Structure 1
Amino acid sequence: MSTPVGYLASISIDCPDPDALVKFYCDLLGLEEVFATPDRGVVSLAGAGPMVTLMRVDDYTPPSWPGGPQHKQMHLDVAVDNLETAVAAAIAIGAVQAQVQAAPAQWRVLLDPIGHPFCLSTVRPD
């Protein structure tokens, strides 16, 4: 393996209002806020691997999934032990289950409170 140039520090998620997602992602992933710009246009959450950074984009357009005019650019896959329990917990904190489910026995597609798709999955490397 070659020497890396650097290491993944954060995954950034564009949104119209970072504060609208802080509690959701803290609750979903067990994170806590570690940094915010004075105007709260950028908020970073940490505590489980790379940070999740929520970044304000003034002309933000939410993705539509699985198709539509604004395709998703990325999504998070969250490893869980039990899909039904995890789906119920994610819905309780503000997620919505997507109408289209490609392989519901292995993973579920949900949408965060502003429409970003993410997956809960029991599929993981050994």
Structure 2
Amino acid sequence: MAIAELGVVVLDCPDPRALAAFYAGVLGGTVEVEGEGEWVDLKVPGGQALAFQRAAGHVPPKWPAPGDSQQFHLDLTVEDLDTAEKGVLALGETTLDTENRSRSFRVYADPAGHPFCLCAC
């Protein structure tokens, strides 16, 4: 029997509203701002919610950096890698890995520097 159920994945960032808008553009869903915007939720239809928390001293993880941890990353499943890549490029991602375009995944960073992968299903 499980002890707990996953409630939400929270990403620290300097601008929760902007990062929530980026992921809403990628995943769809509804952005819900609480109070002064220090905490912002993204409710994704049929999926796991994401939340974004203001962290004034946020330092983006380094990738790839064998001596540093990327801390975590999101794997986002897509139908077509090329089409999805065009979409995230338009939203302001940074491409982190362009070496092997034949793999079933591609690595990017969101506007706050968190790594994420687009993965072909």
- TM tier, shorter chain? 0.7 to 0.9
Equivalent residue letter for 1:16: P
Q: Decide which of 37, 55, 64 is 2:34's aligned counterpart.
A: 37
The 5-angstrom pairing of residues 1-126 of structure 1 reads 3-34=1-32, 36-48=33-45, 49-67=47-65, 71-99=69-97, 101=99, 104-123=102-121
- SS of the residue 1:24 aligns to: helix
Give the drift of 1:70.
5.1
- SS of the residue 2:85 aligns to: helix
Is there any run of 5+ residues in structure 1 with no aligned partner, and where? none
**Normalized against structure 2, the TM-score is what?**
0.87
Is there any run of 5+ residues in structure 2 with no aligned partner, and where? none
Count of residue correspondences: 120
Give the drift of 1:7.
1.6
**Normalized against structure 1, the TM-score is what?**
0.84
Runs of 4+ in structure 1 over 3 Å off: 99-104
Give the alignment's Cα RMSD to 1 decimal: 1.9
Give the drift of 1:103.
6.7
Distance 1:14 1:70, change over 3 A: farther
Identity rate of aligned residues, in percent? 33
Counterpart-to-counterpart distance in 2, 1:111 and 1:101 = 15
